[in-house]
Chains A and B, each alone.
Chain A
């Protein structure tokens, strides 16, 4: 997680060892020729088949949610409410998976805190709904982040314990809902997708990592380390799996407090967590049939690749032991399936340790451009 002074000493020694190794005609020259090509393939595939398609999906599912909320507003039925709920969960899956790589504009331009801030300010939400304050999407965009994004929408369409009825949505709630989904789509998701386009877009900054004049990534190594690090795969493992009061699983678990869960109204918290880890796994494996980080690792250290893949698989699968055959919600499981939750935390921690230590050291040692 932290690159501090002990790492400086480590890197100094590593540099010397590299110089030492350069003195001899070592046997890795055959693989080093191909390795830069693998690096390039991994980078290209990350941008074109992993990141951008997920942002495309975010716009598609955001449009679906917006359309279904519009339909609900026009025709207030429980069937239309159910469609809105389904589309919220679909969008949420895409969002949580892209959190496996929170690099670039999603954080730099505040799209993450604008849409996924926790907790929601329910007290002020009540004040807002009972007031006569204007509630256009422009007004919503100017609200505090605690009154924007996924979770206020979740509260409005699912309600306490997921018990919302369409008839409970009065004119103010409907207006707020419409503006919330429009704000989510038009002010956040769509510009997030667009920010990766064009020669000055973030996608190109990654594709040209290491090229002269690239101020975002002066080397390919810098990009890979970022993708693995605190805003990347290891970062999301830390957010979900850290075993202290900041942990998304640990905090409600250790405090026996379901109100600390991320998505309590939809009962989607467990899916959120699992999708976070799947998102990191997708970065590692690569999507769309192209190369991922796994190919970079396997080219030099198949044993490490096997370990990382196995750890990801174990962590992802462990969530099914929490939900079980009865599909138990996380908000209930924190009381009833504590052993299974503890096992999942351990499994996520194992992935995180491999990413922060082994994979990071692998990149430091092997990526030279």
Chain B
């Protein structure tokens, strides 16, 4: 009799499970489309979606992540101070999170505590390693804040004019055409300076991007455009001052940094004026503001372990899962994303390498980037070369998490390297250069298909 009960029970379970399958929530193929970051995916879709830790860390590593998180959020103050001294003497903001709000993007403004934009500066030519040539008196970045008693290097001016784009179906979109400048420099600006605006990007999935095999990234290069799609792509090789080697650039809006350690250390040094073992020289070195540096002690202002912990924190941030993947409009959008060849640069799927330090096994991920730099046309050009990236080239932005950007940023989302686009649609319409063909194809779509494509992007 017991066997009958067991058979009935199992039969019921199979029936119930088949009902589950009929709900249509899960895709039928072998992989779950929601897992943008593979095992490094988080289900969180709240304002905190970009701040989630990856799975599988040990207790000690979780503790390191948490301390890194706290340090990422920590404000710095002027030295001497018992805790977190070392800010400045010139800087852009006082903590990481003031620009990377909830680890997402920032506001495209400068000079305020919630400003997330900064300006790189250089003069024509290249340094001994092929990098941008520092502007005398300003270095490679304009620090628009300074400790009391010191002068900011300059302040930025940002203005916009409206520009109307009309679709073939007659509907229109208004774009913001930015104009940037500098005012009130503490010392005369070189006459031939070049300026490049940079908005703080979201940080999700950085550990995954760091572990995409170099061979994979290089396989995306189509030198000479052999397939005739108008897209070539170029790897940016950059000099790492810490390792003393030239390496493949992966991070930064022009892929001008090869490792997350240097990305974090340089942000502390340039954005906050906080030195570390990996970037030991004050950003204002050699400038008049150095008299306010607070101490002649050459020790790093950021404790070595804290730099490592913040780096580990960034490496172990998860990627938000896609939403609504079974929705028919979303599926249509995903198809169109490929058909108009957005995926020519925003590569949808690749496999990571293994990194035991962050418990990363080889993962199938969907970052929507190729990590290459591409000519994006005159409209987006900053006309400031950065290693091998020309003044028209920008790294393909990873699109994972793009749909949650507004939620993480108090309802306001800003797109592209300088936040000029207020919607995903505006961002698409700014694409030019190697992406011009895709943009034209997007504009030819019906309004319903355009909406489907944007719906898909919103689900990433």
Contacts and interface: CB of A to CB of B under 8 A. Distances in A.
Given A123-B78, A259-B83, A225 B113 contact: no
Contact of B410 (A6, A109, A229): A109
A244 B67 contact: yes
Contact of A8 (B53, B69, B321, B411): B321
B5 interface: no
B41 A5 contact: yes
B113 A145 contact: yes
Interface stretch (A27-35, A46-54, A110-118): A110-118
B42 A244 contact: no
A2 B42 contact: yes
A5 B55 contact: yes
Nearest to B40: A5
Contacts of A117: 75
Contact of A4 (B52, B70, B75, B147): B52
Interface string A10-42: 011001100110010000000000000000000
A144 B23 contact: no
A4 B43 contact: yes
B249 to A, nearest CB: 29
A99 to B, nearest CB: 15
A124 B48 contact: no
Interface in B65-114: 66-67, 69-70, 75, 77-85, 87, 94, 98, 112-114
Interface string B23-60: 10110000000110001111110111001111100000
Interface stretch (A87-95, A126-134, A294-302): A126-134
B19 A4 contact: no
Contacts of B321: 8
A3 B43 contact: yes
A15 B16 CA distance: 11
B224 interface: no
Nearest to B294: A123
A162 interface: no
Interface of A is mostly: helix
Nearest to A22: B19
B15 interface: yes
Nearest to B15: A23
B158 interface: no
A127 B41 contact: no
B35 A5 contact: yes
Interface secondary structure of B, over-half rule: loop
B428 interface: no
B8 interface: no
B20 interface: yes
A2 B44 contact: yes
Contacts of A170: none
A6 B63 contact: no
A226 B112 CA distance: 28
B170 interface: no
Given A113-B113, A144-B94, A230-B48, A119 B84 contact: yes
Contact of B20 (A16, A118, A216, A259): A16
B147 A124 contact: yes
A146 B83 contact: no
A275 to B, nearest CB: 21
A1 to B, nearest CB: 8
Contacts of B55: 2, 4-6
B148 interface: yes
B149 interface: yes
A7 B318 CA distance: 13
B151 to A, nearest CB: 13
Contact of A110 (B23, B34, B114): B114
A224 B148 CA distance: 44
Contact of A131 (B77, B80, B81, B149): B149
B19 A119 contact: no
Contact of A15 (B20, B80, B82): B20
B42 A4 contact: yes
A289 to B, nearest CB: 30
Nearest to B26: A12
A271 interface: no
A231 B47 contact: yes
A120 B52 CA distance: 28
A354 interface: no
Contacts of B149: 127, 131
Contacts of B46: 222, 225-226, 229-231
A133 B148 contact: yes
Interface string A245-283: 110000000000001100000000000000000000000
Contacts of A181: none
Contact of A231 (B13, B20, B48): B48
Interface of B: 12-13, 15-17, 19-20, 23, 25-26, 34-35, 39-44, 46-48, 51-55, 63, 66-67, 69-70, 75, 77-85, 87, 94, 98, 112-114, 145, 147-149, 294, 318, 321, 410-411
22 contacts: A1-B53, A3-B42, A4-B43, A6-B55, A7-B43, A8-B321, A19-B19, A108-B411, A113-B98, A113-B113, A119-B83, A120-B77, A123-B80, A124-B78, A124-B147, A127-B148, A127-B149, A144-B113, A145-B75, A145-B94, A242-B66, A246-B66
Given A4-B55, A244-B66, 11 more contacts: A5-B41, A5-B42, A5-B43, A15-B23, A16-B20, A19-B16, A109-B410, A119-B77, A145-B75, A146-B94, A259-B82
The 9 A-B pairs of least Cβ separation, nearest first, read A108-B410, A246-B70, A121-B77, A20-B16, A127-B148, A16-B20, A4-B55, A123-B78, A3-B44
